[in-house]
C-alpha cells in the first residue's frame, strides 16, 4: 500500500504546486470530450443517411436475370447509389482522420502535459534556456507517445484487416461470434498495455521497454490495483449520473457530477502516471 499512498501524495503535491497547469489539462480534457461527442453525434447520422441512400435503390432494383439479359436496367438510380457511396467513403474517412487527429494531437498533449506536470518539481524562472529545454522535453515525450501509440494501435488494425478478409471469404455466424469475443478480450489487454506504455514515456529510449515491462507485467498486481481504483471511481461516478438522470429533483446533482467528471478524469490520469513512476523508481 506504500506505493499507492506515495502516488496519491505525489498527485496531490503536483496539482497543488501547478494549479494553472492542472487547469489547462482540465480544459484540454474537456476539449477532447467535446470533440469526440461532436463526432459521435454528427457522423453516425451522416453515415446512416449514406447507407440508406445506397440500400434504397438496391432494394427496388431489378434482380431478374432474364430481364437484364434482354436489355432491362438493373436500376434507374445507379447514379444515386454511386453518389451516396462516394459520400459514405468521404464521411468514414473524415471521421477516421478526426479521431486520429484527436488521439495524436489532443490526447498526446494530455499525456505530455501530465508527464511534464509530474516531472516538474518546482516553479522555475522563465529564462529562454529553460523555455527551450521544456520544449525539447515536450517534443521528446510527444515522439515517444506517437511511437508507443502506433506500436499498439497498429496491431488491432492488422487484426481487423485479416479478420474482415476471413469473414468475407468464409462467412459463418459461429466464426463471427468467436472473432468478436476474442477481439474484445484482446482489445482490453491491448488497451491495458497501451496505458502502461503511455505511463512511462518519460523514460529514456534505452529504458522505455524495460520500464514498460516492469509496470505492465513484472509488477502487474500493483498496476492492476491502480487500474481497478480508477475504474471503480469513474464507474461509481457514471452510475450516480445515470441514477439521477431521470429523477427531476436531482437534476442539479446530475449536472454537478457531469461537470466533476472532467477534473476527476484529469486527476486519475495524473495518479496513473504518478503510480507508474513510483513503481519504476
pLDDT tens track, the chain, 281 positions: 788 889 999 999 999 999 999 999 999 999 999 999 999 999 888 888 888 877 776 666 555 555 555 555 555 566 677 777 888 888 888 988 998 889 889 999 999 999 999 887 655 555 555 567 778 888 889 999 999 988 877 776 676 666 556 555 555 556 556 666 777 788 888 889 999 999 999 988 889 999 999 999 999 999 999 999 999 999 999 888 888 887 777 778 888 888 899 999 999 999 999 999 999 87
Q: What is the number of other CB atoms lying within 10 angstroms of the CB of residue 130?
A: 11
Q: Which pairs count as long-range contacts for 120-126, CB under 8 Å and 24+ apart, including other chains?
A: 120/14, 120/17, 120/18, 120/21, 122/17, 123/17, 123/18
Looking at residue 215, what DSSP letter applies?
A: I
Set of cell numbers at residue 191 = 488497451
The phi and psi torsions of 70 (rounded to 5 degrees) equal -85, 5
Set of cell numbers at residue 252 = 442539479
Amino acid at each position: 500500500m506504500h506505493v499507492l499512498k506515495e502516488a496519491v501524495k505525489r498527485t496531490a503535491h503536483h496539482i497543488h504546486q501547478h494549479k494553472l497547469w492542472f487547469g489547462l489539462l482540465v480544459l484540454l480534457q474537456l476539449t477532447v470530450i467535446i470533440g469526440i461527442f461532436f463526432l459521435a453525434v454528427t457522423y453516425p447520422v451522416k453515415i446512416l443517411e449514406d447507407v440508406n441512400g445506397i440500400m434504397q435503390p438496391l432494394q427496388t432494383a431489378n434482380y431478374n436475370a432474364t430481364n437484364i439479359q434482354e436489355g432491362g436496367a438493373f436500376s434507374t438510380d445507379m447514379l444515386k447509389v454511386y453518389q451516396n457511396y462516394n459520400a459514405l467513403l468521404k464521411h468514414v474517412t473524415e471521421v477516421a482522420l478526426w479521431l486520429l487527429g484527436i488521439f495524436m494531437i489532443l490526447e498526446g498533449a494530455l499525456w505530455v502535459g501530465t508527464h511534464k506536470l509530474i516531472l516538474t518539481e518546482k516553479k522555475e524562472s522563465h529564462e529562454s534556456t529553460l523555455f527551450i529545454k521544456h520544449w525539447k522535453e515536450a517534443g521528446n515525450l510527444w515522439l515517444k507517445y506517437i511511437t508507443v501509440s502506433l506500436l499498439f494501435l497498429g496491431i488491432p488494425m492488422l487484426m481487423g484487416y485479416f479478420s474482415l478478409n476471413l469473414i468475407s471469404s468464409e462467412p459463418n455466424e459461429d466464426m463471427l461470434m468467436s472473432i468478436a469475443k476474442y477481439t474484445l478480450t484482446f482489445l482490453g489487454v491491448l488497451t491495458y498495455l497501451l496505458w502502461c506504455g503511455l505511463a512511462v514515456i518519460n523514460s529514456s529510449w534505452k529504458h522505455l521497454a524495460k520500464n514498460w515491462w516492469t509496470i505492465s507485467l513484472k509488477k502487474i498486481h500493483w498496476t492492476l490495483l491502480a487500474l481497478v481504483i480508477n475504474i471503480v471511481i469513474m464507474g461509481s461516478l457514471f452510475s450516480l449520473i445515470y441514477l439521477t438522470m431521470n429523477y427531476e429533483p436531482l437534476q442539479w446533482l446530475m449536472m454537478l457530477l457531469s461537470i466533476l467528471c472532467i477534473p476527476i478524469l484529469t486527476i486519475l490520469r495524473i495518479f496513473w502516471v504518478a503510480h507508474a513512476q513510483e513503481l519504476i523508481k
